[in-house]
């Protein structure tokens, strides 16, 4: 069995002394001039734009590889451009793996029966190609999942996670302001929907703990913008790693991250997208744009580590 997702993640944390995940949300309108100027004429095809995506993504990955432990890729930006976009996505995943960065594919899938199985094979497993042969699909090391349809919609993913030692993060308390419309609603038990979901994740996660590991391959998405909720959720799900979006551009701050971690200084991977990959927009004139991205990733790593040290947590 190949090395597991959570084991690889913990290894990266130790090696790089980092909890940073960089989100790849390639927005053509915000690309650096050196890339955007070639497609600003208005006559470009989806193929050419997707090539620009790949070029941008590769340079971001190269810039942050020393300081980030993972790349979180939002699939929607690629789906917009059809099969050319998905080809760019596959190549982005491949490049990240070559640079020893963990790949988290943000797909937020959740469906039932055969459909769930097809999704699971597409993103984590293998597909049959004839003659008894199998090939991997997108081959991400971890994905995000939506639990709204219940456990049976997640079981096909869990099965492949066991087979391939892959990871997943279930949406529990998301960073968007409108999350309260559903996630904060109080059930008859007196618990919120997100607390109830967390209890289910904790139950499901126990069967996905690799031998010799404290942490499970099944984690939870908990937004950086809700540290009070994180404090409660950390108690409910001690063995689940948190994927924490919302840092930086969405308002999440380093000083608010302590509740997301366990006492061992582990348990959370902090994601920043726009504040890292478009950092060049705020950099001094003459600074190469990849250098600005690199410096932003390193600065984020330092800020998080400082807060953890001040709280008596971490390495």
Q: Which residues are annotated as catalytic?
A: 108
Q: What is the largest CA-CA distance in the chain?
A: 59
Q: How many CA atoms lie within 13 A of 174 on its CB side?
A: 17
Three-class DSSP labels, 173-211: ECCCHHHHHHHCCECCCCCEHHHHHHHHHHHHHHHHCCC
Structure tokens, 229: 């909720």
Question: Residue 147: CB partners within 8 Å, gap ≥ 6?
Answer: 110, 153, 154, 170, 171, 197, 200, 201
| C-alpha–C-alpha distance, residues 57 and 26, integer Å | 8
């Amino acid at each position: 069995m190949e090395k597991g997702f959570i084991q690889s993640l913990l290894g990266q944390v130790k090696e790089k002394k980092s909890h940073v995940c960089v989100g790849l949300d390639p927005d053509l309108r915000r690309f650096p001039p050196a890339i955007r100027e070639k497609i600003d004429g208005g006559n470009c095809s989806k193929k050419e734009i997707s090539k620009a995506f790949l070029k941008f993504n590769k340079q971001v990955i190269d810039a942050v590889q020393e300081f980030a432990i993972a790349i979180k890729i939002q699939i929607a930006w690629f789906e917009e451009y059809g099969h050319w976009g998905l080809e760019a996505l596959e190549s982005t995943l491949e490049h990240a793996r070559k640079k020893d960065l963990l790949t988290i594919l943000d797909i937020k899938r959740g469906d039932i029966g055969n459909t769930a199985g097809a999704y699971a094979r597409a993103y984590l497993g293998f597909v049959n190609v004839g003659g008894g042969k199998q090939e991997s699909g997108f081959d991400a090391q971890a994905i995000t999942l939506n639990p709204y349809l219940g456990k049976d919609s997640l079981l096909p993913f869990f099965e492949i996670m066991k087979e391939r030692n892959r990871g997943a993060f279930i949406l529990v308390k998301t960073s968007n302001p409108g999350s309260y419309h559903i996630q904060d609603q109080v059930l008859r038990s007196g618990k919120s929907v997100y607390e109830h979901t967390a209890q289910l994740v904790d139950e499901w996660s126990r069967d996905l703990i690799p031998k010799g590991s404290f942490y499970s391959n099944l984690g939870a998405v908990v937004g950086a913008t809700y540290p009070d909720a994180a404090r409660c959720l950390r108690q409910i799900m001690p063995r689940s790693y948190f994927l924490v979006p919302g840092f930086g551009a969405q308002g999440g701050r380093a000083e608010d991250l302590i509740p997301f971690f366990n006492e061992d200084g582990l348990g959370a991977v902090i994601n920043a997208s726009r504040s890292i990959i478009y950092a060049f927009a705020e950099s001094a004139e003459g600074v190469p744009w990849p250098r600005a991205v690199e410096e932003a990733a390193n600065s984020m790593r330092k800020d998080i580590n400082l807060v953890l040290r001040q709280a008596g947590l971490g390495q």
